[in-house]
Each structure stands twice: as C-alpha cells, then as structure tokens.
Structure 1
Amino acid sequence: MAPKTTHPVLGARALNRATLDRQLLLRPASLGIPEAVEHLLGLQAQNTKPPYYALAARLEGFRPERLSALMESRAVARIVTMRSTVHTHTARDAVALRGLAQPGAIDRELALFVSRGGLDGVDLDRLAELARALVEERPRTPKELREELLPHWPAADPQSLSVAARCLLPLVQVTPRGLWERGGQVALTTTDRWFADSDGPAAGGPADLDETVLRYLGAFGPASVKDMQAWCGLTRLGPAFERLRPRLLAFQDERGTELFDLPDAPRPDEDTPAPPRLLPEFDNLLLSHADRTRVVPADLRGRTWSGNQAHRVFLLDGLLAGIWHLDEGKERTTLTLEPFARVTRADRAALTTEAERTLRLMTPAGVPHDIVFATR
C-alpha cells in the first residue's frame, strides 16, 4: 500500500487571508462592476439588496445606482444558478452557470417536487414547452404561471407547476425586480428572450466544468473538491480536479484535507491585516465551502440565523464576529452593530470607520445617521 501523500500545510489564518484576498475583502478593488461580478462568479441574491452591499464591501467607490443601471440594460440579471438559489450574474454567466448548475441542485429540487406527488400525471416536456411560450410572450409572475398551467393539469399542485417551470427553464427575474430603491414583484422570462437585446454576450451553452473549477479556485481557493461541490450544488467533481492536477498546486489543511489552488493565485502572509467588513445576508463568502471554519469560528456556527432569517454579518480580523442591522427611517438612519463577544476599543473604532464608509456609499447624501453598538 502506497504511503499517503503529504502536501504543504495551510493553517486556518493562511486560508482565511487567501480567501479574503480572492474575495476582494482585504482592500477595496478598482475593478468595474461586471468584472467583479464575473470574478466572484456571481452574487447571492435571495433578497434584493445583498448584491449591492456585497459590492459595497469589495469595490472602491461603488455606487448602487451603477449596478442598478447594469440590470436595466440587461448586462447583469437575477437568475437561479448555484445551489438552486438566486444569484446576480453577468449575462454571459447567467447562461453558462445556469447550464452548469442544472444537473445538480436544480434537478434535485425538481425531483423532490415530483417525489412529493404534486406533479403526478404532468408531462414535464409539455410543461416546459407551454411555460416557455407564456414567459416569452411577456414576463409572467409565478402566480400567473400557475394559473395558466393549472387548466392543463387540474389535479396537480399549483405551486409545483411554477417550481417545475423554474427548474426546467433558465428563467430571469426581469426588472424592476432587484433595482436599487425601486424594486417590484418577481416576473420571469427566459434568458433567450431577456438577453436578446442586452449589452453583454449571452449566447452559448453550459460553462465548461474544468474552466469553472479554475474560476472557483480563483475566487474561493485554496479549496477542496467538497468545497466546490458545496458552492455549486454539483457532486462527483473529483475527476475534474484530477484532470487539472498537473496545472494546480496541492496543499492540505490542518485536518489533512487536500486543497487545490492556482499556482499564481495570491496567498498572503497569515499576518496580513484584514480590516473590518460589513457583509450582507447570504454572502457567498459564508456559503461557498464545505468547511467554513476559515471564516466562521466553530463556536459561532449557526449564529447568523434566526429561524429561516439570515442576518447581515461583520468580520473582525477576517472572521465572523457579529451581526448588523439597518433602520432606514425617513428622518434618520441607524446602523446597529451586535458583536458576538466583547470588542476592543481599537476594533470598535475600526468598525465605526467601516460602518461610516458603508453608510456614505449606500444611503442618500444629507440624511443624518447614527452608529450604535448593542449586545445580544
């Protein structure tokens, strides 16, 4: 039996600093918004505001109106992709990454609804054909889709019909949904229809798996096979990493898990300063690894949730350290920081500075604000 291969060990702090660097969180990046969205392989967008706060934490001089304008011009869009959850992607990635993610969590979600019996007797190919015609005629809300499809299968579960359409077709959430300070209800059309006149290239098929592995490592590495599987919702990615092994460096974490990385990717010294950062709920930094301890201390696992509600979070020294809330009143805005543990005077000052920066970027000029520290 051959001895187990050993690789250079990357400690938790080294992994933390490398990931923060890839995630543009060690220093504000000068990238344009489309370039940043593509580098990050999309922004979690289960709610409408997280993509804006995600970029505010990462980009120099970010203004939310600029992302909103890109959504209106159809250069970026909201669509279900990784883990069968809504992400904001460029037009190109909306098509490519949706195709890549389809056989993973998206197909599993559809299979779950089939197994529950809500789609008994439903011809899924026919459903996809009818739904495509409906949403390409004009964008439809999920309620409208249900109402239009139900007469064809009156015994079916109405919600299952609209979920099936979303799983079977690459459906974009059209604007004004997701626009800054405007918004609207979810209405859907296909990527083919929505991007026909967009500012960005959208034609093509699913993303190449090997190329996506390299992109994932560029945004989230060093990482294991299971880490990438947790990010995208696909399984059995080991063969892709093996194909790429000659082009990659191999490390291991302190538990002995094999990690892969790009040879020329940044791996800063573990003592590199990591300024405080205010992140939105569902930020991909917290969701894109099977082992999240590089950012989430083991004793804080689960502290960012209350029931089904995810909280906005902040980092201190690169690690999850608390949650924050924003109360945007007509006369005054209050940003409340709730550390999970006692913070030093220096950390309090640094957090206040970062909160001030966030408020300058994300709230109307001239509206007074307060920054408050609270205990849970």
Structure 2
Amino acid sequence: MTPLRTDIPDRLARTPPAARRHGGAVKALTWAQVVARRLERHGLAAPATDLPAAVSAMCGAHAQVMSAAEASIGVRVAGATRLDVRRALWAERTLVKTRGPRGTVHLLATADLPMWTGALGALPSPPYATGANALMTPAQVDRVVAAVGAALADAELTSEELTAEVVARCGPWAGERVMEAFQDRWPRWMQAMEVATRRGAMCFGPNRGRQTTYTSPARWLPGFQAAPPDQALSTLVRHYLHGYGPATPAHFAKWLAIGQRTAQELFAAAGLEEVTVDGAPAWVVAGDTDMPAGRPRGVRLLPYFDAYAIGCHPRDKVFPGRAGERALNRGQAGNFAVLLVDGTVAGIWHQRRSGKRIAVTVEAFGTLSPARLKALGEQVERLGEILEATPTLTLGEVTVGGHA
C-alpha cells in the first residue's frame, strides 16, 4: 500500500493544483450557478429515479440515525419510502451499511465499495487509536483485522460473538476490557473496528432483534476487492467534486476529516481544473465546468446529518446570516435538520413521531411567500410518505436542541 505523504513541500501546498495542470483562461462561475449544479446532482432540484445511483451521487447517506438516512435518500428519489431503502440495503444489497467519510456510519452504494475501502484504507489510523491513546501495536491491529475478516467471511455476528471469535484467533489480550467508551469499557480489539471497516474486513449486517450484527462486505459484493489506494483516492476526489464541487482542498479535508496538506496532495494528483466562484478559486474535475441554465429553485426539508448540509461549502454562503447562528453547532453542520430554500439554509425543523403520526415543526428564518409555504406543505407530505406516517405541520420556534 502506498503511504500518504504529509510532508508536502510548501511550494506544492501553496500552488493551486489546477494551475500546475491546465493552461488558458480560468472559467468564472457565480455562486447561484454552483448551487443550481449541486441541487441538480443531489436529486434536490428534480428527484432521481435510481436509488443506488442517488446514494452514490451524494457520496453516501449518514446513517447513525437510520430514519435520517431514509429521509435523506427518500427526498432525492422519486416515490421512494423507507421500505425501499431497507429493501435496497438488506434484500437487494445495492446499498451497504458501513463506515464512510469521517469514520461515521453511512449507507453507501455497494458498487462504490472498492473505491471507498481502497481510499479509506489508505488513510492514517484515527487519532483516538494512535500515539499515547493506542491500545495495540500496528502488528496487533493487523492481526485483529485479519481475525475479523476470517470470522465474518460467511457469518453475521453480534459484538459479543465477534469478540469471542477475535479472542480465539488472537489471544486473551484482544478481549481485555481496556477501551473507554460510553461510561463503560470495551474489549481492546474494538479500537481496531474502524480500521477493519476501512480495510474492507467488516460492515454492518441486519439487526438481530435489538442487537447490531457485523458481516463481510464480500457478502454484498461477490469477489469484492479494495481498489488500489492511489487509484481509489483520486477517484474519491473526483467523486466528491462531482457532487460538491467546485470546492477547495480545505473543503475536501473537512469533509473527509484529513489534514489539509494531504488534501492538497490528493487534489494535485487527481487531474482537476481551476475555476473561480464569485472571484474565489476552486476546483472541479477537468472538463466538468457545465452549469445549469436556470437559477437554484425549490424548497426541501433535509434531516439531521444530511449530506448536502455537511458537504457543501463555503459555510457562510450555505448557512448565511441567522442560519449560521441557529443551524450550526460551533461551525459544524448536521446537528440540526434544515429547511432549504433555493439551495440555501433558511430555517430548521424538528419532527416528533407518535405511532403512525409525525408532528413537524418548522422554524423559518424569514417570511415565506405563499408559493414557498405551499411547497413546504408538499415537502411535509412527502416526508410523511417516506417515513410512512401521517404528518402535521406547525410553523414556529424549534425548542429542541441539536442532535448529539
């Protein structure tokens, strides 16, 4: 595996990647054009028809809260409900539940697994598992990853069952309860779970009652093999820019939770083209500079941790004015469900479910025109269809805090 360089020379870090690759005039774009393009590519201007392709285009749906993932996908796919998402995940296996960008749980398109594992497996170990925090040596981590892969090759195991298998293969040290977690202590080997997921040794299986299970990604994608790291990382950069570009290495670094110098190096290797957005430099995949003709339009309700809110930058333009104060948590997006008006955050919302009913409260940061109020009502109805519930809408202050 080719290691990522973090000692990029200052000259390389300062020089825009596209300026080193492309000559000629730099295309000037407006912020409105960029927003219209992102809405179109996310299925938020007009819904998509292919569910796995929609998930691929958004670079995965955050799935720490499954109902939020179902809503994120449903709002982008015409007629899709949470049952369609579950069918794609557990029956058709065109989606897979695993760890994606930032090490967080995502639903990813199964067809993208070689890219994701090749890219994420090449990244440095997460900070909580390195240096003074490390509970295992690199060699022990490798042993755990191999043991996990062998145990899950043709099985769906709970954490307790997987712990027994890893201890049997690695020795008692792997099961020592020394990892601090949620006011408890987990077995030592669990510090390597994220690395094992990144390298393609494990993913989530279907729940067994209330218990989470784990299994092998090869059961989703027969013949599965991680793509070569350099190829996978360049593909991931281009994949990200297709949905979230134009963007900068700093934006990509924040999205993937990597160092900015590493992001600079990856941009430099990916074959990109420089553009400007309202005069500021940014990058797209070489040749991918076409923009929609119309202005961004539409009202959408995006749930907690929606990919558009988390991945789109600059923050001050996506979350302007009051939105930056009310819909961000110390600059971090995703903790609040947001009202999107013409591609810009214009409010927050919250839902409370009771049986087959959901009460939706929307706090808009400005006055909504009659046309937008009508569109908001339609979005609430659509949310009810996705989550298979009867919705009601209340306009007013959201008093519930951000999701942890």
TMscore range, shorter length: 0.7 to 0.9
Structure 1 residue aligned with 2:394:
372
Count of equivalent residues:
355
**Contact 1:224–1:259 (CA<8 Å) still a contact in 2?**
yes
Higher strand share: 2
- Residue matched to 2:98: 79
The answer to whether the aligner puts 1:172 opposite 2:224 as a matched pair is: no
- Listed one character per residue, the Cα deviations across residues 329-367 of structure 1 (whole Å, up to 9, x for unaligned) are 236332221223443444322211221222234324xx4
Matches within 5 A, 1:195-214: 195-196=221-222, 202-206=224-228, 208-214=232-238
Aligned counterpart in structure 2 of residue 139 of structure 1, from 156, 161, 165? 156
Distance 1:12 1:47 in 2: 31
**Residue in 1 that maps onto 2:128:** 112
* Structure-2 change in CA distance of 1:102 and 1:293 (3 Å): farther
2:54 corresponds to 1:36: yes
Equivalent residue in structure 2 for 1:283, among 302, 306, 317: 306
The answer to which of 111-120 and 19-28 deviates more is: 111-120
Matches within 5 A, 1:1-376: 7-29=26-48, 31-73=49-91, 74-104=93-123, 107-109=124-126, 111-117=127-133, 119=135, 123-136=140-153, 138-146=155-163, 149=167, 151-153=172-174, 154=176, 156-157=178-179, 158=186, 160-169=188-197, 170=200, 171-176=202-207, 184-196=210-222, 202-206=224-228, 208-235=232-259, 236-245=262-271, 248-254=272-278, 256-264=280-288, 266-269=290-293, 272-289=295-312, 291-297=314-320, 299-301=322-324, 303-304=326-327, 310-330=335-355, 332-364=357-389, 367=390, 369-376=391-398
Counterpart AA for 2:146: E
Q: CA deviation at 1:231?
A: 2.6
Uncovered stretches (5+) of structure 2, i.e. residues with no partner:
1-15, 20-24, 180-185, 399-404
Structure 1 regions of 5+ residues with no counterpart? 178-182
Distance change >3 Å, CA 18–CA 139, structure 1 → 2: same
TM-score by length of 2: 0.76
CA distance in structure 1 between the aligned counterparts of 2:285 and 2:114, rounded to whole angstroms? 26
Distance 1:120 1:353, change over 3 A: closer
Distance across 2 between alignment mates of 1:88 and 1:223: 23
Alpha-carbon distance in structure 2 between the residues aligned to 1:289 and 1:213: 14
For the 8 Å contact 1:12–1:293, the answer to whether it is kept is: no
Aligned residue identity for 2:203 = V
Q: How far apart, in 1, do the equivalents of 2:158 and 2:356 lie?
A: 34
Matched residue of 2:148: which SS? helix
CA RMSD after TM alignment: 3.2
Q: 1:275, CA displacement in angstroms?
A: 0.8
- What is the DSSP-based 3-state SS (H/G/I as helix, E as strand, rest coil) of the residue aligned with 2:69? helix
Specify the SS of the correspondent of 2:301. Answer: strand
Distance 1:62 1:129 in 2: 38
Distance 1:155 1:114 in 2: 18
Distance of 1:69 and 1:278 partners within structure 2:
23
The one-letter code matched in structure 2 to 1:66 is D
287-296 or 78-87: which moved more? Answer: 287-296
Q: Which position in structure 1 is the counterpart of 2:12?
A: none
Q: Tell me the secondary structure at the aligned position of residue 318 of structure 2.
A: coil
- State the secondary structure of the residue aligned to 1:333: strand
Identity of paired residues, percent?
A: 22
Higher mean Cα deviation, 204-213 or 76-85? 204-213
Range moving further from structure 2, 10-19 or 289-298: 289-298
Specify whether residues 233 and 332 from structure 1 end up closer, same or farther in structure 2 by C-alpha distance, changes over 3 A only.
closer
- Do the aligned residues in 2 keep the contact of 1:19 with 1:222 (CA within 8 Å)? no
TM-score by length of 1: 0.81
Residues 59-98 of structure 1, C-alpha deviations (whole Å, 9 max, x = no match): 2222322221121232211111211111111222133212
Instruction: Give per-residue Cα distances to partners, 1:311-340, cap 9 Å, x unaligned.
Output: 221201221112222222236332221223
Distance in 2 (CA, whole Å) between partners of 1:124 and 1:331 is 45
- Give CA-to-partner distance per residue, 1:141-178, whole Å, 9 cap, x none: 3355456648324374335521313323432111148x
The answer to whether the 8 Å contact 1:282/1:310 transfers is yes
1:118/1:160 contact within 8 Å kept = no
Q: Contact (CA 8 Å) 2:71, 2:303: kept in 1 or not?
A: yes
Provide the C-alpha distance between the structure 2 equivalents of 1:375 and 1:268, rounded to a whole number of angstroms. Answer: 35
* 1:343 aligned partner, one-letter code: L
Assess, with a 3 A threshold, how the Cα gap between structure 1 residues 266 and 329 changes in structure 2: closer, same or farther.
farther
Shift of 1:305: 5.5
